[in-house]
């Protein structure tokens, strides 16, 4: 009996070990889950969204690996993102904090914001007013303006449209100098333009090295509005944003 018991525990331990290695492998080379803790990407991403990021979209770097070990530099099977991609990256200032923003500038692009209007290579990016939008769940309830913005096409990729928010066109980052994106870097911005620390904050985020890209946001697999406490099981179904589950990130 003792041998059988010992063998049973050993087999269970092996199963757990194999499952752990498979999970690590999937997180490293395929998909990794992330959650959204702040409102910088509203309306595209809401606080409490849980999403999968594809690790293979831009190739692999040390940022793709758990704990970002300094095993190698550059990217393996690397490719540049497209303007409009929503990407997770490691914050350049510490190399460990995960951030998620929209890529609006590629290497060599000239990026500027003037009176709230994004300009890429000297041309204003078209935006269409869609009406008022009420922001909830990320501080005080606030009504701002909703726009649809259309970025210029990337090489081999069509022009993409997405929604952005503007509280005003005269905020701290609504009038910037012109930034020239260095080689092997990208310029990122939050869709909630007046509530986002992004590449416009040169002393905090700045240009993001391509090597720091973790992957591209693909789809939301769960969304929680935070209205129910963990012990209020009867309220859980009403706190889930069912309409957002399995929606793609655009």
Q: What angle do CA 115, 120, 121 make, to 5 degrees?
A: 120
**87 Cβ contact partners less than 8 Å away, ≥ 6 residues apart:** 58, 81, 100, 101, 102, 103, 186, 188, 213, 214, 215, 216, 217
Which residue reads 């099977």 in tokens?
77
> Ramachandran region of residue 161, left (φ > 0), alpha (ψ -120 to 50) or beta?
beta
Token pair 């980052």 in the structure block, residue:
173
**Active site positions, annotated:** 40, 101
Q: Across the strands, what pairs with 34?
A: 51
Separation of alpha carbons 208 and 181, rounded Å: 9
């Amino acid at each position: 009996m003792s041998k059988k018991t010992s063998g049973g525990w050993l087999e269970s331990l092996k199963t757990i070990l194999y499952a752990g290695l498979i999970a690590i492998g999937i997180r490293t080379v395929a998909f990794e889950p992330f959650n959204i803790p702040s409102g910088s990407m509203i309306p595209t991403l809401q606080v409490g969204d849980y999403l999968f990021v594809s690790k293979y979209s831009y190739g692999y770097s040390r940022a793709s690996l758990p704990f970002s070990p300094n095993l190698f530099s550059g990217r393996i099977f690397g490719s540049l993102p497209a303007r409009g991609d929503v990407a997770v990256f490691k914050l350049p200032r510490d190399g460990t904090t995960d951030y998620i923003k929209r890529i609006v500038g590629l290497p060599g692009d000239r990026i500027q914001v003037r009176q709230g209007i994004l300009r890429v290579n000297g041309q204003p990016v078209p935006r269409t007013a869609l009406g008022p939008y009420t922001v909830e769940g990320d501080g005080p309830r606030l009504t701002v303006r909703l726009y649809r913005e259309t970025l210029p096409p990337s090489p081999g990729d069509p022009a993409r449209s997405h929604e952005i928010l503007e509280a005003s066109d005269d905020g701290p980052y609504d009038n910037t100098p012109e930034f020239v994106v260095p080689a092997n870097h990208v310029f990122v911005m939050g869709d909630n333009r007046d509530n986002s620390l992004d590449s416009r904050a040169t002393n905090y985020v700045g240009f993001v090295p391509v090597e720091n890209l973790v992957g591209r946001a693909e789809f939301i697999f769960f969304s929680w509005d935070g209205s129910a406490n963990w012990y209020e099981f009867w309220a859980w179904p009403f706190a889930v944003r069912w309409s957002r589950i399995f929606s793609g990130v655009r």
